[in-house]
Chain A
Amino acid sequence: MIKIENLVKRYGKLLALDHLNLEIEEGEIYGLLGPNGSGKTTAISCMLALLKYDKGTISIFGEEMSPDNYGIKQQIGIVLQNVAVFDELTVYENIDYFCGLYVKNSQERKKLVAEAIEFVGLEEYIKMRPKKLSGGLLRRLNIACGIAHKPRLIIMDEPTVAVDPQSRNRILEGIQELNRQGSTIIYTSHYMEEVEQICTKIAIMDHGRSIAVGTKEELKSMIKTGETVTIEAVVLGTDQIKDIRLLPHVFDVKYDEQVLTVRCTGAKHNLIRILNYLQENEISFGRVFSELPTLNDVFLEITGKELRD
């Protein structure tokens, strides 16, 4: 459905996109995950033909994307990172205005606007102006303006920034519902939990490149970490830390302020082996956690830095 090949974009000396390659299939919720400045928004802007780029090709629905390819634009909806609505118009008028840029028939538009309002749950606010809405409601309005015309492809650039948890959950559920209704979705975020929760395929981006692509399971299987064991309130000596590092499947041990973090490769009984060692050496300990690898672990292993840095 979307194919980006060798996309290069420079802002002066800064290389914002470095031979980026992406391939997005119809029906996916495709997550672009990366820290701020990794090139997600630049990639989106190039896809939408808003930004000039130095090299590469972008095709959408099998056609090359260009500013005057109105056929492609007709089938795309966008939800930008910054809320992009008219402060002077009411909720209803904003959605009607943007829907009207895609749908000329007023009867059909009326129906679509009503459905969009219901979808984002803004029925009680249709006569209010955006400045009177809370942050969460404003984000919902921003989404409604982008999806009212029922696009085949929806591009969402960090739509949950600065949104309270309740509204965030509602937005994420809405995105999954849009996908069930048939829209393909490109979702950019630097919140790995969100991407992990809703995306069927994920591209991890850093320095303008796609450094890993796959389902979340595929991405996690790419890295060494299979399990991370954390033990609190434990007092260890240097020799004991060395002993733990020598346990089977353990490849990284960190001990800081009486908290032991042990990263193991994917294997059974990692936790039991560590606890057995502590018991055998009569070492007392507090709470114990065992976590499966996250996308942050994937990012950490590939780039050597935290996703949140």
Chain B
Amino acid sequence: MLHLMKYDVKVKLHNFNMLFWPLVFPLLLATFFYFAFGKIEEADFETVPVAIVEEQGQAADKEFLEFLDTMEEDDSNLIHVESMDEKKAVSELKSKKISGIYYVGETPTLTVGGVGMGESILQSLLESYLDGKQTMMKIAENHPEGLQNAAAQMSDYQDMVEQVSLGGKTTDGNSQFFYALIAMGCLYGCFIGFGSALTLQANLTALAARRCVTPTHKLKLILSEMLTSFGIHFINIIILLLYLRYVLQMEFKGEMPQMLLVSFIGCMIGVSMGIFISSISKFGEGVKIGILLGISMVCSFLAGLMNSEMKFVVERYCPIINRINPAALISDAFYCINVYDDPARFRRSLIILTVMSVVLLLGSFLAVRRERYDSI
């Protein structure tokens, strides 16, 4: 058995399809995602330039000017404020050098030159200032003794607001892409399973025929192929997880044993899908690879690999697909560990994946264990 496994591992490690698609491709895609999303994030937080124009004949709202100073000096570098006369400000707004103009009189107003992230930020700042000012005025009127305390609390406003999930863990808008990517990596184990099954069925390749006429029991050959396929692909996914965590610095907040459990079952479904597709039909090798690639990509797409909204769209209009799509189940299990903290949903995903794997493996086993064929 060790003899078989030693060479099965060597064969798999030297086979392009068995190495590139399940290991190298997900690593490349992860790197691509990292740089693509990194740029989006940088773009999102670009400092917004804004002009201040003091209105003639009105007393300027000093608190608002102080508020803007505070925001400018904040570590987030959200805005950059510059005082100028109205003519110059309008000119710069037209030439898009600034995103808006705060007219500071008794009540500050905002003029923007378009619609976008910067304009929205300026609008939000103004609204939050006006809301805060109104609140403070009401407190001053009704509970003047609490004014100092209220002012202190409002100054902490930003620190109090953080986007959290129901499970209490911080969400990351991009994490859905990476969970779908890991799911895709798991499904790409189908290429390893596919290659294994090709060398087990005498009606598919001469190599398999040669192995089938030896005195080595067919079950031993099957067992060796399956064990090495699962083992190698599990290591592939561990490498992917380590790469995401330590090279791309992605934060996994779930426990590592649970992550590994999902990865292992994900590998099982990927490899068994490959063995199954390879075993059940007599299509050519190219056609079968096309089928496997198609299934993996469609499942990954529906799980949110290309568009993070897709999984939620599917959940809204046809939730059954998310219950049977292995990529959606794998990414959902990762999401359950890292975001939702929902053990019931986590267990459900794993049970469905395990049942699917067992069914595929059983079907594959029945097809592969045949020892005599109608034609070869």
Contact = CB atoms under 8 A, between A and B. Distances in A.
B371 A102 contact: no
A194 interface: no
Contacts of A169: none
Interface stretch (A73-81, A199-207, A245-253): A73-81
Contacts of B214: 73, 98, 101-102
B372 A51 contact: yes
A23 B165 CA distance: 78
Interface string A133-170: 00000000000011000000000000000000000000
Contact of A73 (B4, B213, B372): B213
Given A98-B214, A101-B215, A51 B373 contact: yes
Contact of B11 (A51, A88, A101): A88
A51 B375 contact: yes
Contact of B373 (A50, A68, A98): A50
A101 B217 CA distance: 9
Contacts of B13: 88
Contacts of A265: none
Contacts of B10: 88-89, 93
A76 B209 CA distance: 14
B194 to A, nearest CB: 15
A96 B215 CA distance: 15
B375 A145 contact: no
A49 B372 contact: yes
B148 interface: no
A7 B11 CA distance: 38
A27 interface: no
Nearest to B195: A88
Interface string A11-30: 10000000000000000000
A111 interface: no
Interface string A65-98: 0011011011010101111111011000100111
Contacts of A146: 210
Contacts of B217: 70
A50 B207 contact: no
A220 to B, nearest CB: 34
Interface in B186-242: 202, 205-207, 209-218
B161 interface: no
A73 B215 CA distance: 5
A74 B215 contact: yes
Contact of A84 (B209, B218, B372): B209
B373 A52 contact: yes
B7 interface: yes
B281 to A, nearest CB: 18
The residue among B202, B205, B214, B371 with the most chain A CB atoms within 10 A of its own CB is B214
A83 B210 CA distance: 10
A50 B202 contact: yes
B87 interface: no
Nearest to B213: A48
A51 to B, nearest CB: 6
A50 B376 contact: yes
Contacts of A145: 210
B354 to A, nearest CB: 31
Contacts of A82: 206
Interface size bracket, A side: 35 or more
Contact of B372 (A52, A74, A83): A52
Interface in B349-372: 371-372
A211 to B, nearest CB: 24
A89 B3 CA distance: 14
Contacts of B375: 11, 51
Nearest to B18: A88
B307 interface: no
B373 A84 contact: no
B14 interface: yes
B91 interface: no
Interface string B160-202: 0000000000000000000000000000000000000000001
Given A51-B373, A52-B372, A68-B371, A78 B7 contact: no
B155 interface: no
Contacts of B213: 48-50, 73, 76, 78
B374 interface: yes
Interface in A36-80: 45, 48-52, 67-68, 70-71, 73-74, 76, 78, 80
A185 B18 CA distance: 38
A71 B217 CA distance: 11
B47 interface: no
Contacts of A11: 374-375
B38 to A, nearest CB: 37
B205 A89 contact: no
B215 A102 contact: yes
A100 interface: yes
Nearest to B199: A86
A67 B211 CA distance: 12
Given A49-B213, A50-B376, A84 B206 contact: yes
Nearest to B372: A52
Nearest to A101: B214
Given A50-B202, A74-B215, A145-B210, A89 B7 contact: yes
A71 B12 CA distance: 30
30 contacts: A45-B209, A49-B371, A50-B209, A50-B376, A51-B374, A67-B212, A67-B371, A67-B372, A68-B371, A70-B217, A73-B213, A73-B214, A76-B213, A78-B213, A83-B206, A86-B7, A88-B10, A88-B11, A88-B15, A97-B3, A97-B7, A98-B210, A100-B3, A101-B4, A101-B211, A101-B215, A101-B216, A102-B216, A104-B3, A146-B210
Q: Which 4 A-B pairs have the closest CB atoms?
A: A67-B371, A88-B14, A84-B206, A101-B214
Given A50-B212, A86-B7, A89-B14, 8 more contacts: A45-B209, A48-B213, A49-B371, A74-B215, A84-B209, A97-B7, A100-B7, A106-B3
